[in-house]
Chains A and B, each alone.
Chain A
């Protein structure tokens, strides 16, 4: 068993492998993860909207030990990751960081939000700093 604590380091090796394959292999995998995440999120996001998204990421904030600020407004939800535990672990790693590591988050989140009827502006900021921000709004 790869411990759940070490999943992101396994994930990091998967990204390296897929990136080497070329032909959009990495992006196709993000879509597979997005489909998997529908199990946890899609119904919640469709039925409870921004509040459901707030609830989901508040749960993630606790379980994944994130330094994350959530700002829920009537027409938007802004998530500000002050210290991402996932990238922090991928960097604290004898195998070294896949420099495309951060891309998986918008890669699965944006397609899922679109299916739920929402847009997302995602700012990775810097692929070697564990900070990012996204703002979610309802599609016009």
Chain B
């Protein structure tokens, strides 16, 4: 895995992400979020994206497992022959916003939706991110063409 941080966590960064998403959307439109999160998905996470292009989702699964565990999220990863499903019951990012007394931006989860889309673009995979509640979502990665 390309990035594997250890040591202390500064969870308040999720608050800065929330502020930034609101600021960018208000001043530059939601299309700007597409540009920024596409760069995150395909340039920052180049290693995951390149593996997905080769049909290999192992680094994405490892990334989810490592960072959701590190931030003490409540989640489960299911792998089936057709799909990889990340079921998040308690998102650590949303939990931290609420702890800080911040209102999650209506666009807060676009970070997940757009990064997943960017990771899967031009690969044999496609992503579907369903927001199932406050701090809850289901992220599904399937091989294109599989129903």
Note whether A and B form a binding pair. yes
The B contact surface, by secondary structure, is helix
The answer for the CA separation of A36 and B17 in the assembled complex, in Å, is 11
B interface size (C-beta, 8 A): 44
**Contacts known (A14-B36, A95-B39); A6 close to B44, Cβ less than 8 A:** yes
Q: Say whether B115 faces chain A, with CB atoms less than 8 Å apart.
A: yes
Query: A17 — which chain B residues lie within 8 A by C-beta?
Result: 24, 28, 32, 35-36, 39
Q: How far is the CA of A28 from the CA of B20 in the complex (A)?
A: 12
Q: Which residues of B contact A25 (CB under 8 A)?
A: 27
Mark out the residues of chain B between 72 and 98 whose CB falls within 8 Å of any chain A CB in the assembled complex. 73, 88, 91-93, 96
19 contacts between A and B (CB under 8 A): A2-B17, A2-B115, A3-B5, A4-B10, A4-B11, A4-B13, A5-B3, A6-B44, A7-B13, A7-B17, A10-B111, A11-B20, A13-B39, A14-B36, A25-B27, A63-B9, A92-B3, A93-B44, A95-B40
The reply to whether A14 and B20 form a contact with Cβ atoms under 8 Å apart is yes
Complex interface: chain A residues within 8 A of B111 (CB): 1-2, 10
B10 touches A10 (CB 8 A): no
Binding site for A on B (CB under 8 A): 2-3, 5, 7-17, 19-20, 23-24, 27-28, 32, 35-36, 39-40, 43-47, 67-68, 70-71, 73, 88, 91-93, 96, 100, 111-112, 115
B residues less than 8 Å from A10 (CB atoms)? 17, 20, 36, 40, 44, 111
User: B71 contacts which chain A residues (CB < 8 A)?
Assistant: 1, 3-4
Could you say which of A32, A33, A63, A94 contacts B8, with CB atoms under 8 Å apart? A63
Return A122 CB to nearest CB of chain B, in Å.
Answer: 20
Give CA–CA (A36, B18) in the complex, Å: 10
* Contacting pair A65 B8 (CB below 8 A): yes
B36 touches A13 (CB 8 A): yes
User: Contact size class for A?
Assistant: 35 or more
Query: Are B14's CB and A4's CB within 8 A?
Result: yes
DSSP majority for the A interface?
Answer: helix
* Bound Cα distance A13, B5 (Å): 19
A60 interfacial contact with B, CB 8 Å: yes
B24's partner among A7, A14, A60 (CB-CB below 8 A) is A14
Contact A13 B17 (CB under 8 A): no
A64, B8: Cβ atoms closer than 8 Å: yes
- Bound form: Cα–Cα A60–B9 in Å: 10
- Decide if B19 touches A3 in the complex (CB within 8 Å): no
